[in-house]
C-alpha cells in the first residue's frame, strides 16, 4: 500500500481524499495544513481519511512513500523542497509556481540532492503526454489559447486593457510568452506553465488569453507543430463544485497520479 502525505486540504485536497476514500492501494495517512486551517482540515479528514494525522509540517524523520502538493504556490518552497532533499518523491499540482525565476531549478536541484524525483501533474490540460513525446522528435511551435468569461478576468491587468463589463465580442487581453503570461496573470499560470515544461519552455511557448462573453466556462486550446506532425486539442473544463475557480480535471489528475503510483498496472 502506498502511504501518501498530502500538503494542503482545501477544495482540491478535500476532493482527493473523498475520491480515495477506502481505496485498497493508496492511503493518505498524513495531511499537512496551515495552523489557521487546522480545524477545517480535521473535520474533512475525520470524514474521508480518519486514519490520517493532521500536521503543520512533516518532521525531519518522517518519510512517507510520496508527498503530493495540493496547497498552492507557497507550499512548494516550504514543504516540497525539504521533502525532496530527504529523498521523498513528490508530485506537484501547482505547476504555475515553477514560472517564478529559479523555482524549477530549485526543485530539480533538491531532487538531485535527495536522489529522487518531482513529478509535475497535467492538471486541467490534456495532451501533455503527446506534447512531451513530440518534444523528443523536435517541436517547432506551441500555441496555447485560453478563454474565460469577462468577469473571470476582474482583478487582473485585463481591467486596464478594456471594459470587461461592456464586452460584446471576444477581446484578446494578452498575446506573448508563457513566461510573461505567468507574471501578469499568476492565477491562470498552471495550464500555460504545464504546457511549457512539457514542450518548448516558458520563453518559446506562445500564449493568447481572451475575455470572451460567448463562453460560460474555461476553454483551453493548444496547437503544436513539429517533426511528428501536428495536433490541436480543445478542452472545456467544468469547475470543481467546491471551488468554481478550480477545474474538476485538476482533482482527477492528482488522483490518477496517486493511483498510478499505487497500482500494479498503470497507464
User: What is the pTM assigned to this prediction?
Assistant: 0.90
Q: What is the pLDDT of residue 259?
A: 96
Q: What is the pLDDT of residue 189?
A: 82
Give the active site residues. Answer: 220
CA–CA gap between residue 72 and residue 7 (Å, rounded): 9
Q: What is the pLDDT of residue 226?
A: 97
**pLDDT reading at 112 higher than 80:** yes
Asked if 131 and 205 count as a contact pair (C-beta separation under 8 A), the reply is no
Binding residue numbers: 124, 190
On average, the pLDDT of the chain sits at: 94
203 versus 245: the higher-pLDDT residue is 203
Structural domains for the chain: 2-120 (3.40.50.720), 128-243 (3.30.360.10)
Q: What is the pLDDT of residue 256?
A: 96
CA–CA gap between residue 242 and residue 192 (Å, rounded): 23
Q: What is the pLDDT of residue 246?
A: 77
The predicted model gives 156-178 an average pLDDT of 95
CA–CA gap between residue 72 and residue 207 (Å, rounded): 22
pLDDT tens-digit map of 129-139: 999 999 999 99
Binding residue numbers for NAD(+): 124, 190
**pLDDT reading at 245 higher than 80:** no
> pLDDT-derived band of residue 239, with 50, 70 and 90 as boundaries?
confident
Q: What is the pLDDT of residue 66?
A: 98
CA–CA gap between residue 34 and residue 262 (Å, rounded): 27
> pLDDT-derived band of residue 187, with 50, 70 and 90 as boundaries?
confident
Long-range contacts (CB closer than 8 Å, 24 or more residues apart) made by 60-64: 60/86, 62/5, 62/30, 63/87, 63/88, 64/3, 64/4, 64/5, 64/29, 64/30, 64/88
Q: What is the pLDDT of residue 14?
A: 95
Asked if 173 and 209 count as a contact pair (C-beta separation under 8 A), the reply is yes
**pLDDT reading at 95 higher than 90:** yes
Amino acid at each position: 500500500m502506498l502511504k501518501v502525505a498530502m500538503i494542503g486540504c482545501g477544495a482540491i485536497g478535500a476532493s482527493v481524499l473523498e475520491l480515495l476514500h477506502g481505496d485498497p492501494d493508496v492511503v493518505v495517512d498524513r495531511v499537512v495544513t496551515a495552523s489557521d486551517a487546522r480545524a477545517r482540515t480535521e473535520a474533512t479528514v475525520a470524514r474521508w481519511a480518519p486514519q490520517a494525522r493532521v500536521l503543520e509540517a512533516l518532521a525531519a524523520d518522517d518519510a512517507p512513500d510520496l508527498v503530493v502538493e495540493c496547497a498552492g504556490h507557497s507550499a512548494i518552497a516550504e514543504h516540497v523542497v525539504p521533502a525532496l532533499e530527504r529523498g521523498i518523491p513528490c508530485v506537484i499540482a501547482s505547476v504555475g509556481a515553477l514560472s517564478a525565476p529559479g523555482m524549477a531549478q530549485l526543485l530539480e536541484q533538491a531532487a538531485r540532492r535527495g536522489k529522487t524525483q518531482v513529478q509535475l501533474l497535467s492538471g486541467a490540460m490534456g495532451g501533455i503526454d503527446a506534447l512531451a513525446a513530440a518534444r523528443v522528435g523536435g517541436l517547432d511551435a506551441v500555441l496555447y489559447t485560453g478563454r474565460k468569461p469577462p468577469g473571470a478576468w476582474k482583478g487582473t491587468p485585463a481591467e486596464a486593457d478594456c471594459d470587461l463589463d461592456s464586452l460584446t465580442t471576444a477581446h484578446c487581453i494578452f498575446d506573448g510568452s508563457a513566461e510573461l503570461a505567468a507574471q501578469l496573470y499568476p492565477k491562470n499560470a498552471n495550464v500555460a506553465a504545464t504546457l511549457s515544461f512539457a514542450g518548448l519552455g516558458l520563453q518559446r511557448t506562445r500564449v493568447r488569453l481572451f475575455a470572451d462573453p460567448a463562453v460560460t466556462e474555461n476553454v483551453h486550446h493548444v496547437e503544436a507543430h513539429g517533426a511528428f506532425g501536428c495536433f490541436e486539442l480543445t478542452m472545456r473544463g467544468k469547475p470543481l463544485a467546491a471551488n468554481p475557480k478550480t477545474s474538476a480535471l485538476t482533482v482527477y489528475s492528482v488522483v490518477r497520479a496517486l493511483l498510478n503510483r499505487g497500482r500494479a498496472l498503470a497507464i
